Amino acid sequence: MTLSEKVKAAFEKAFPGELFDSVRAVPATDPKFGDYQCNDALKIAKKVGLKPHDAAQKVADALEGDCFEKVDVAGPGFLNLTVSPGWLAGELETLAKAPKCGIPQSGAGKKVVIDYSSPNAAKQMHIGHIRSTVIGNAIDRIFRALGYDVIADNHLGDWGTQFGILIKGYRDLLTQEERNNLSVPVLEKCYVLSAARAKEEDGVWREACKAELVKLQQGDGENLALWKKFIDISIAEFDRMYAKLGVKFDTYRGESYYNGVMPRVVERLVKMGLAEESEGALVVKLEDEKLGVAIVRKSDGGYNYTTSDLACVECRVKDYDPERIIYVTDARQQLHFKQWFSIARKMGYSDVQLVHVPFGLMSYQGRAISTREGNLIKLDELLSEAKRRSLEIVKDRGGDEKLAEQIGYGAVKYSDLSHDPITDIDFSWDKALALEGNSGPYLQYAYARVRSLLSKAEGFAAGEFLVSTPAEKRLALQLLEFPGAVVRASEAYKPSVLADYLFQTAQLYSSFYQNSPILKSEEPVRSARLRLCSLFGEILSTGLGLLGIETPEHI
Ligand code: ARG
């Protein structure tokens, strides 16, 4: 029984017949109030017709078992709980033996689609793509760890007007040599040149691009083959980045996949009376919900992003029947998601929970990132630079390229994941690679240090947990919170909740380590402390793993 469950049972015993589902014991904000506190007596006092203090006292009297050393009713009716060392040791033992560091398998039997990264084809991934990829992948890992059946879907931008421009440019602007050695940078150049010509006054080039697009949309063999070639080259290039980042997708169903489904979706919208004509376009009015008007078919007959996402949800529900679909994109798309989520609900998709996880903008070393600023750093370059800088740091310690990648890529990921996704963040090399403070390398280093300590000790496994000093107790209580931190991160769709937890844990470990001799202490304390170190190492490594960050044994 968890601590919260024990407290809940005491509420139920004190006030029979009432339900107390939301009762929780949470870690105390200040150790001088005990280890845990519960404020629920204040909330329920009215309901049970008592003064809050008296209600809390009644619960305190009903609390039983060997789990608490001390229970105080403080202030207007706070319950301050101090756990007993015996209970704590038992809980640590259970946690140490539990598979996956005690992460509950609450997602077992539930299917979730996570749509993330989703870059546009024929362009190199740049620093702006890092957020969706890294945040999405951490959410993916967290949900898998909770036992969910996750389908990681890369919703590539692989359809649309840009392909008319690209095909025209490929035919008439590239050299034979470039055509033979097609790569994403060549495609990018091709697009830029062709798009510039499409702006010419006479409109001849623009019309030619449009004609290529129409041919592609009508299934012309040659254009389809070219399009397919562009996509294959793009995916190969994206995969090179994903391999570096340790990111894997179950499927790459891009926008093109839903192309044939869009007319049917629009027909349904019309039939259901949800869409109506407006200035030649077909729109869904959402003004009642203050969401404006969403176009689902443009006046030229073409479909748009909204139509494509509606078609996509239809396919995902049909093919996977997930309980939830999670979309990780930048915050500028919030209105888009609110609009089409609302339309989807009206179309009857009410069983599937649609979740948008928006993230803020990223700036680089204090400057906004934009093509115009000329600092649209390529993801590839960012990762190479991360590796180069890390190599500088680790080579004096005998570290190799592999270690430099683990630290460099980990630093890039952590500098993003340690922030609430919705905040705008500034990427700075000094902060990302700092060995002190809230950084990836700091946590990796903490792990390597605990592993090195453990390798110096032999034969401690037999020892029992035994918690005596305050620093030890703080660390032990924190370790018990790991499964809860993973659950909270998943509920909030914020890997930062887990990152915060891990950083706090590492700090508590550090003060424990500084205050308590380990290898030099006497048995049974020595073994007990080593086991606490070992559990800390396991939790740190598991937690960082959920953020997609590797934990080398030596740094
Ligand atoms: N390709 C889009 C972009 O680059 C992201 C797609 C997100 N997924 C979706 N189903 N709309 O911003």
In this predicted model, what pLDDT tens digit does every residue of 510-551 receive, in sequence order? 999 998 999 999 889 999 999 999 999 999 999 999 999 999
Pocket residue to mutate for ligand 1, from 132, 155, 304, 330, most atoms within 8 A of Cβ:
155
pLDDT at residue 459 in the model: 63
d(CA 542, CA 141): 11
Q: How large is the average pLDDT for residues 152-175?
A: 96
pLDDT digits (tens, 9 = 90+) for 264-301: 999 999 999 999 999 999 999 999 999 999 999 999 88
Pocket residue to mutate for ligand 1, from 231, 259, 312, 329, most atoms within 8 A of Cβ:
329
pLDDT at residue 383 in the model: 96
Q: Please determine, for residue 225, whether its predicted confidence score (pLDDT) is greater than 80.
A: yes
pLDDT digits (tens, 9 = 90+) for 183-198: 999 999 999 999 999 9
Are 290 and 143 part of one and the same domain?
yes
- Could you tell me what percent of the chain has a pLDDT over 70? 98
State the distance between the two ends of the chain, measured CA to CA, in whole angstroms.
39
* Ligand 1 pocket list (CB less than 6 A): 115, 118-120, 155, 157, 309, 312, 327, 329
**Which tokens sit at 345?**
């609900």
CA 68 to ligand 1 center in whole angstroms: 51
pLDDT at residue 414 in the model: 97
Are 129 and 171 part of one and the same domain?
no
d(CA 214, CA 498): 48
Predicted confidence band of residue 372 (pLDDT cuts 50, 70, 90) = low
- Could you tell me what percent of the chain has a pLDDT over 90? 82
Between the alpha carbon of residue 309 and those of residues 262, 320, 325, the distances in Å are: 9, 16, 12
End residue of a domain, out of 244, 275, 308: 244
CA 413 to ligand 1 center in whole angstroms: 20
Name 354's bridge partners.
325
How many secondary structure helices (H) and strands (E) does the chain include? 21, 13
- Report the SS3 class of residue 509: helix
Q: What is the dihedral of CA 317, 319, 325, 327, to 10 degrees?
A: -110
Q: Please determine, for residue 65, whether its predicted confidence score (pLDDT) is greater than 80.
A: no
Residue 380 belongs to some domain of the structure:
no
What is the tally of structural domains in the chain? 3
Residue of minimum CA distance from atom 6 in ligand 1: 118
Are 215 and 169 part of one and the same domain?
yes
pLDDT at residue 551 in the model: 98
Residue of minimum CA distance from atom 4 in ligand 1: 119
3-state secondary structure 386-411: HHHHHHHHHHCCCCCHHHHHHHHHHH
d(CA 455, CA 533): 11
pLDDT at residue 128 in the model: 79
Residue 321 belongs to some domain of the structure:
yes
Determine the structural domain holding residue 145 and report its residue range. 111-156+249-362
Predicted confidence band of residue 149 (pLDDT cuts 50, 70, 90) = very high
Q: Please determine, for residue 233, whether its predicted confidence score (pLDDT) is greater than 80.
A: yes
pLDDT at residue 373 in the model: 65
- State how far Cα 100 lies from the chain centre: 19
* Residue 522 near residue 118 (C-beta atoms within 8 A): no
End residue of a domain, out of 362, 378, 412: 362
Of the listed ranges 311-315, 430-434, 460-464, the least confidently predicted one is 460-464
Of all atoms in ligand 1, which is nearest to the CA of residue 336?
Answer: 11
Residue 330 belongs to some domain of the structure:
yes
Are 260 and 353 part of one and the same domain?
yes
Residue 424 belongs to some domain of the structure:
no
Amino acid (one-letter) located at 16: P
Q: Please determine, for residue 371, whether its predicted confidence score (pLDDT) is greater than 70.
A: no
Helix (H) or strand (E) holding 546: helix 525-546
Residue 299 belongs to some domain of the structure:
yes
Residue 50 belongs to some domain of the structure:
yes
pLDDT digits (tens, 9 = 90+) for 26-35: 888 888 889 9
Predicted confidence band of residue 502 (pLDDT cuts 50, 70, 90) = very high
End residue of a domain, out of 333, 362, 391: 362
pLDDT at residue 17 in the model: 86
- Report the SS3 class of residue 376: coil
Are 143 and 254 part of one and the same domain?
yes
Are 166 and 311 part of one and the same domain?
no
Residue 319 belongs to some domain of the structure:
yes
Are 144 and 255 part of one and the same domain?
yes
Are 292 and 358 part of one and the same domain?
yes
CA 534 to ligand 1 center in whole angstroms: 42
pLDDT at residue 411 in the model: 97
CA 316 to ligand 1 center in whole angstroms: 15
**Which tokens sit at 313?**
């949800």
Q: How large is the average pLDDT for residues 483-505?
A: 98
Residue 56 belongs to some domain of the structure:
yes
Are 255 and 327 part of one and the same domain?
yes
CA 132 to ligand 1 center in whole angstroms: 9
pLDDT digits (tens, 9 = 90+) for 119-131: 999 999 988 789 9
Domain containing residue 345: CATH number: 3.40.50.620
d(CA 438, CA 197): 48
Of all atoms in ligand 1, which is nearest to the CA of residue 156?
Answer: 1
Are 271 and 150 part of one and the same domain?
yes
Are 39 and 67 part of one and the same domain?
yes
Give the mean pLDDT of the chain: 94
Domain containing residue 37: CATH number: 3.30.1360.70
Of all atoms in ligand 1, which is nearest to the CA of residue 337?
Answer: 11
Are 33 and 171 part of one and the same domain?
no
